[in-house]
Amino acid sequence: MSAENSALKKMAKLAYQRLSSGFWQEEKLRRKNTLTILKNQGADTVAAKKYLVDHTKQQLAAETNPAEEALYASIKTMFEAGNGENALAVLMDKNLMQNMDDGARQRYIFGLSHKLQEYRERYEKERQFNCQTMSMSL
């Protein structure tokens, strides 16, 4: 069996588990409740809907790529501690960079910078919407 078939089977199994466990019904209810809270607070519900969809996509991606989610968790911890300026250094593989020419090194750093920017945007959205919903649930 090829690696592609194996990955596809794993994704299908996870999708089946979500369907049979009621994941989508719970997700729909969670989104509805969150949007109600945010609407009552006067928040931008269009942005919140986009965030909630992105959050669900990230949950699903975390199931298939836990290493990526673990990396985000470590970078998120740095942001929360106020050490975001060190995040790029954490992402860099210094051994790998030593074996690259200047062009490859620049592309590598650019790619990491882009990944870090995605993480920062995700973190900011999580913080914004979680703070708004947490204050209502207390």
Residue 85, in any domain of the structure? yes
Residue 33, in any domain of the structure? yes
SS3 state of residue 1: coil
Token readout for 64 is 């298939």
pLDDT, averaged per 10 consecutive residues of the chain (138 residues), comes to: 77 86 89 86 83 84 83 88 84 89 93 91 84 47
Q: What end-to-end distance do the CA atoms of the chain give, in Å?
A: 51
Half-sphere exposure of residue 115: CA atoms within 13 angstroms, side-chain side:
18
Residue linked to tokens 């750093």: 109
Residue 12, in any domain of the structure? no
pLDDT for position 104: 93
Residue 47, in any domain of the structure? yes
Q: What whole-number distance in Å separates Cα of residue 39 and Cα of residue 90?
A: 38
Residue pair 119/84 in contact by the 8 Å Cβ criterion? no
pLDDT for position 134: 47
Token readout for 79 is 């942001």
pLDDT for position 131: 57
Q: What whole-number distance in Å separates Cα of residue 114 and Cα of residue 31?
A: 29
Residue 18, in any domain of the structure? no
Domain that holds residue 86: 23-137
pLDDT for position 137: 44
Domain total of the chain = 1
